[in-house]
A and B are shown apart, each in its own frame.
Chain A
Amino acid sequence: MIAPVRDGTTSSTAYDDLSYTRGGTVDRAEVGVLVQSAADGDAAAWKALVDGLGPLVWSVVRAHGLSDADAHEVYQTAWFRFTQHLGRIREPEKTGSWLASTARHECLKVIRASQRWTPTDDVHLLDRASEDRTPEESVLDSEEAAAQTERVRRLWQEFEELGERCRQLLRVLMASPPPSYQEVSAALGIAVGSIGPMRQRCLRRLRAKLETRGTT
């Protein structure tokens, strides 16, 4: 699986770069322009922001392990609040970090509140998988894709069995498009410099688990 891509130093250099300029700097420069347009009244730009940064916000919420109900509310809170800050964000190109950090703080409040109060009737929501079935998911359900489905499920299962820190980090990193390290830092409150080494450790731990089970 790895061999065909490998062509000596070119690919390794490219992937070296990738780990530092992740998230495609082009995408993120676009974000600044979109924020400006949305602030000026362009609803299509807003929609593009929701599509471009929504998965990051959702990843942050999921990384914090909230119940579905809480996750939905925090996601909404982050976007509602962004409508209020649209015209006043100092560095619009860093909007991803702003949203990630806003979502994180709301998550921490939810966690605090639930520690303070006895959790009540949220329990039945905890295990509920996402009810919205994406087109991809439907495709995966077809017979031909059964093997791939199995692989994806096992990957996910091993991922969910990782320790909490790795699960959090990887859940944020797997947002699409890939977040920048600044955004990951804002999402999890960890130093940018520690993300690369942690990412490497966590991915290798996951790979070791997969190999143990003979999935790779």
Chain B
Amino acid sequence: MSATHEDGDGEGLFPGGEADDGLLADALLEEELRQAAAILDPVPAALRTIAVEAYALRDLDARLAELTFDSLVDSLPVRGEETPPRMLTFQAGAVTVDVEVGDEGLIGQVLPPGPAEVEVLSGPRPRARLTADDLGRFAGEAPPAGPFALRLRTGGEVVVTEWLRA
């Protein structure tokens, strides 16, 4: 590297010069890459807009149900042609929401069991509305591609699941 990277000024004058050159050259090359990325692979404008508009998704009334089980991460792969349904569990205090998303659609159950209004959120798009029966069970079409969340009104409480990509 020292041979190919001769810039001609005073090897002898600065004993540590070579190493310093290296650091400086690294920083310059990294900066050049940064500029290249800004030109060739920037954040797509449409995505920036979506992220800016996502601020409207803030839901101050709802309690957040965090993802506590995800079959994609927490279970062993299943062999076979069939796409196994994705199984998800969310928890907010005493409220648990079990969800299965597969080719058939979306089914789920609220625990403790009880009637609930369920909204399927998918970004800024209009939300699908489902109703959970007395046992807390609900079913609907699979959410459209992209991140989705469920907003449930049950037992006087509003709970919203963490955004997730189905």
Identify A80's interface contact among B26, B30, B37, B147, CB under 8 A.
Answer: B147
Cα separation A2 to B9 with both chains bound (whole Å):
10
* 8 A Cβ contacts from A79-133 to B: 79-86, 88, 106, 109-110, 112-113, 116-117, 129-132
User: What is the minimal beta-carbon distance from B11 to any residue of chain A, in angstroms?
Assistant: 12
Given known pairs A43-B55, A76-B51, A79-B50, the reply for A152 and B39 (CB within 8 Å) is yes
Cα separation A59 to B77 with both chains bound (whole Å):
29
Q: Are A76 and B147 in contact (CB under 8 A)?
A: yes
Chain B residues, CB < 8 A from A199: 26, 30
Least CB separation from B42: chain A residue: A134
Q: Are A6 and B34 in contact (CB under 8 A)?
A: no
Chain B residues, CB < 8 A from A75: 43, 47, 51
Q: Are B39 and A140 in contact (CB under 8 A)?
A: yes
Q: Are A77 and B51 in contact (CB under 8 A)?
A: no
Q: Are A211 and B4 in contact (CB under 8 A)?
A: yes
User: What is the minimal beta-carbon distance from B95 to any residue of chain A, in angstroms?
Assistant: 16
User: What is the minimal beta-carbon distance from B89 to any residue of chain A, in angstroms?
Assistant: 15
Q: Are A106 and B30 in contact (CB under 8 A)?
A: no
Chain A residues, CB < 8 A from B24: 2, 5-6, 11-12, 15
Given known pairs A72-B47, A74-B165, A110-B165, the reply for A2 and B54 (CB within 8 Å) is no
Cα separation A110 to B72 with both chains bound (whole Å):
9
Q: Are A203 and B149 in contact (CB under 8 A)?
A: no
Chain A residues, CB < 8 A from B14: 8-9
Instruction: Say whether A194 faces chain B, with CB atoms less than 8 Å apart.
Output: no
Instruction: Say whether B93 faces chain A, with CB atoms less than 8 Å apart.
Output: no
6 contacts between A and B (CB under 8 A): A15-B27, A57-B43, A79-B54, A134-B42, A136-B38, A173-B33
Instruction: Say whether A200 faces chain B, with CB atoms less than 8 Å apart.
Output: yes
Residues of B at the A interface (CB closer than 8 Å) are: 1, 4-5, 7-9, 14, 16-17, 19-30, 32-48, 50-52, 54-55, 57-59, 64, 70, 72-73, 77-78, 83-84, 123, 145-147, 149, 160, 162-165
Cα separation A132 to B70 with both chains bound (whole Å):
34
Chain B residues, CB < 8 A from A88: 64
Q: Are A76 and B50 in contact (CB under 8 A)?
A: yes
Q: Are B39 and A203 in contact (CB under 8 A)?
A: no
Least CB separation from A134: chain B residue: B42
Given known pairs A8-B14, A47-B52, A73-B145, the reply for A84 and B38 (CB within 8 Å) is no
Cα separation A171 to B123 with both chains bound (whole Å):
28
Least CB separation from B66: chain A residue: A84
Q: Is the interface of A mostly helix, strand, loop or mixed?
A: helix
Q: Are A84 and B146 in contact (CB under 8 A)?
A: no
Cα separation A58 to B41 with both chains bound (whole Å):
9
Known: A9-B20, A174-B33. 15 other contacts (CB 8 A): A3-B9, A16-B23, A77-B147, A80-B57, A81-B163, A84-B64, A156-B36, A173-B30, A175-B37, A203-B29, A204-B1, A207-B5, A207-B25, A208-B1, A211-B5
Cα separation A204 to B9 with both chains bound (whole Å):
21
Q: Are A81 and B146 in contact (CB under 8 A)?
A: no
Cα separation A199 to B22 with both chains bound (whole Å):
12
Q: Are A77 and B164 in contact (CB under 8 A)?
A: yes
Q: Which 5 A-B pairs have the closest CB atoms?
A: A12-B20, A80-B163, A79-B51, A77-B147, A174-B33
Instruction: Say whether A65 faces chain B, with CB atoms less than 8 Å apart.
Output: no
Chain B residues, CB < 8 A from A134: 38-39, 42
User: What is the minimal beta-carbon distance from B48 to any residue of chain A, in angstroms?
Assistant: 6
Q: Are A54 and B164 in contact (CB under 8 A)?
A: no
Q: Are B43 and A55 in contact (CB under 8 A)?
A: yes
